[in-house]
């Protein structure tokens, strides 16, 4: 088990439906990271932006973007995750792909489709949470709109890190920051939220405001409004564990069952 986890989130002005340019941007950032980086988190639909025309950009799991993630993970000896437009068995998915440096791949399909933009009409929703075991850390990756549903994110698995990758627009950015802190506090877990900047083809504006938050709701790292760049921090599992043991909040949470 590794007590310290060095995590990086990369905030970008995504180029609309242009995987080549987006991958080139992220690669330039990743190759410059220090050798002690353990995990890199990229935004939602990091190769395309939040498109509702998946037929234009969808890839298979053996496509160029997942292959690129495998290449980066191996060359830099780190894990990398972010969501992509994936097609499988005739369906389209907003799929988070988590690639280990060993080449192991784990996936999470977005549970809560964003009905305001019709995501539910073109993408198939997932039904299962993913808990990744990486270097002794239990990691729960979720996607954008999932942030609004605390029951789905509830820490029943005793995870250590909660990830949200997003394309969260400027008009609701106050909710983004508030809910990220709420998820950290109520689950007594480190939280990273990685958003995008810029304007997409539908004229939605994004200011980023990516955040790293500790298990008590304190910001460990953040990016300013409209800033393109990285957030990074070292997370300490022993400190989080001691805080959980001292306060005991997770021991008192209500039991529940999610019905699909």
pTM listed for this prediction? 0.97
What 3-state class would DSSP assign to 65?
helix
List, in order of start, the domains of the chain with CATH numbers. Answer: 4-249 (3.60.110.10)
Query: Which residues are annotated as catalytic?
Result: 44, 110, 144
- One digit per residue, the tens of pLDDT, for the chain of length 260 reads 799 999 999 999 999 999 999 999 999 999 999 999 999 999 999 999 999 999 999 999 999 999 999 999 999 999 999 999 999 999 999 999 999 999 999 999 999 999 999 999 999 999 999 999 999 999 999 999 999 999 999 999 999 999 999 999 999 999 999 999 999 999 999 999 999 999 999 999 999 999 999 999 999 999 888 899 999 999 999 999 999 999 999 999 988 888 76
Is residue 179 within 8 Å of residue 148, measured between CB atoms?
A: yes
Tokens 């990691």 belong to residue: 139
Nearest-10 crossing angle of helices 19-30, 64-76: 10
């Amino acid at each position: 088990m590794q007590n310290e986890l060095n995590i990086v989130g990369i905030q970008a002005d995504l180029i609309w439906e242009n995987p080549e340019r987006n991958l080139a941007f992220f690669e330039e950032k990743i190759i410059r990271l220090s050798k002690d980086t353990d995990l890199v988190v990229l935004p939602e639909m990091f190769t395309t932006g939040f498109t509702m025309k998946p037929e234009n950009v969808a890839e298979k799991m053996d496509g160029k973007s997942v292959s690129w993630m495998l290449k980066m993970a191996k060359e830099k000896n780190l894990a990398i995750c972010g969501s992509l437009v994936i097609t499988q068995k005739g369906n389209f998915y907003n799929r988070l792909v988590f690639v280990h440096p060993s080449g192991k791949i784990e996936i999470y399909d977005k549970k809560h489709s964003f009905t305001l933009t019709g995501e539910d009409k073109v993408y198939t929703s997932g039904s299962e949470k993913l808990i990744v075991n990486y270097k002794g850390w239990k990691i729960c990756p979720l996607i954008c709109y999932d942030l609004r549903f605390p029951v789905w994110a509830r820490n029943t698995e005793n995870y250590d890190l909660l990830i949200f990758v997003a394309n969260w627009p400027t008009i609701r950015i106050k909710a983004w920051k508030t809910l990220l802190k709420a998820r950290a506090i109520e689950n007594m877990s480190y939280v990273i939220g990685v958003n995008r900047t810029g304007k997409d083809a539908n004229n939605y504006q994004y200011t980023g405001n990516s955040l790293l938050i500790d298990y008590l709701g304190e910001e460990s790292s953040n990016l300013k409004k409209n800033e393109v760049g990285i957030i990074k921090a070292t997370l300490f599992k022993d400190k989080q564990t001691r805080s959980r043991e001292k306060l005991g909040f997770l021991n008192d949470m209500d039991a529940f069952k999610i019905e699909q």
